[in-house]
Amino acid sequence: MNPDESIIPAIPIGDWVESAIDWLTENVGWLFDAIKLIFTFLVENLTLGLTGIAPIALIIICALLAWAVRSWKFAIGTVVMFALVLSMGQWVHMMETTALVLVATVIAVVIAIPVGVLAARNRVVSAIVRPILDFMQTMPAFVYLIPAVTMFSIGVVPGMVATIIFALPPGVRMTELGIRQVDGETVEAGEAFGATPWQILRGIQLPLAVPTIMAGVNQVIMLALSMGVIAGMIGAPGLGKQVVQAISSLDLPLGVEAGLSVVFLAVFLDRLTAALGTPNQYGSSLIALARKARGNRAKKSASGASASSSANAPSAPSGSAVASASADSNA
């Protein structure tokens, strides 16, 4: 017997949580089955779509996307990194991880942005949400796997659920921060012109908060990728499963190759989302070059139109002509 039990009685919090999970499993099992069906459908079909494209073609598409939003240097780096993944035989596993991360990120962002907006506009909601986010961020990632497996068995679905829960907090926090950082005078100007709160949110606050929100999306993707690797412990397919297999069999080459593939995927997603949040910082991207070319064409057309209008305008009589006409009339 613990001597401290006479002073502080034991509180079986873990048993209470287990009882709550068991009650949910028995009474809301239909909801868990529906979630499992939807998540399995999304991840499997996205994986089939990604693996159905020829690897070389997909590498070219990713390189063009990298050049379009960032720079040609990033495009070359993308080709080199993904070619190495293909040469190491980890391409299919990387596509499985990519599908899991993308689906989890989309679901997390769809939840995080509305919650962040509500928290930014209502202090009561913010006070309620903040400790929940603190709990979600500080809880060890492995702990999320236990209830996920209890409710959904092993496989990709519990990995996705744990990934969404683990990756959600940065999206909420950064959305709230971005909305709160919008200049109050700008909001007051919109209110002075009679804009409704929805119009202010849609036309002023959200556009100005986009860089901060995209930074939150970037963090969501990075946390989803890290949790997606951990989810390999409960049977989630992808690079995480390869890492777990390498650990269990002490296979160093497999562990290095799977780890490098995770790093390459993380670098690509990180740089890509960072460029989407601040597009004006990358003047060598295809989007920036297209904007410059469009602006130059607009300037040339405007200067040509002004030149043609000045050439077609009737010229005013010169001073000598007026003097000559005046002398003739006097004569």
pLDDT band for 78, please (50, 70, 90 cuts).
very high
As a whole number, mean pLDDT of residues 67-93 equals 92
As a whole number, mean pLDDT of residues 189-209 equals 85
Q: Is 195 helix (H, G, I), strand (E, B) or coil?
A: coil
pLDDT band for 314, please (50, 70, 90 cuts).
low
In the DSSP assignment, the letter for residue 141 is G
- The most confident of the ranges 22-36, 90-104, 285-299 is 90-104
Short-list 32, 269, 85, 238, CA closest to 167: 269
pLDDT band for 163, please (50, 70, 90 cuts).
confident
pLDDT band for 312, please (50, 70, 90 cuts).
low
Confidence at residue 323, expressed as pLDDT on a 0 to 100 scale: 46
In the DSSP assignment, the letter for residue 202 is I
Pick from 154-158, 235-239, 250-254, 309-313: least confident: 309-313
Between CA 34 and CA 256 the distance in angstroms is: 37
Centre a 10 Å sphere on the Cβ of residue 117 and count the other Cβ atoms it contains.
21
> Domain coordinates of the chain in residue numbers?
27-290
Confidence at residue 182, expressed as pLDDT on a 0 to 100 scale: 86
Do the beta carbons of residue 68 and residue 278 sit within 8 Å? no
Residue ranges of alpha helices (H) inside 181-251 are 184-192, 197-200, 206-230, 239-249
User: With 70 as the cut, is the pLDDT of residue 200 above it?
Assistant: yes
As a whole number, mean pLDDT of residues 130-155 equals 84
User: With 60 as the cut, is the pLDDT of residue 160 above it?
Assistant: yes
Confidence at residue 240, expressed as pLDDT on a 0 to 100 scale: 87
Confidence at residue 17, expressed as pLDDT on a 0 to 100 scale: 83
Confidence at residue 301, expressed as pLDDT on a 0 to 100 scale: 75
Short-list 119, 204, 97, 101, CA closest to 169: 119
Between CA 141 and CA 224 the distance in angstroms is: 11
Q: How many percent of the chain have pLDDT more than 90?
A: 30
User: With 60 as the cut, is the pLDDT of residue 321 above it?
Assistant: no
* pLDDT tens column, 234-269: 888 888 889 988 988 888 998 999 999 999 999 999
Centre a 10 Å sphere on the Cβ of residue 33 and count the other Cβ atoms it contains.
11
The mean pLDDT value of the chain amounts to 84
Architecture field, domain 27-290: Orthogonal Bundle (1.10)
Confidence at residue 268, expressed as pLDDT on a 0 to 100 scale: 92
Confidence at residue 325, expressed as pLDDT on a 0 to 100 scale: 45
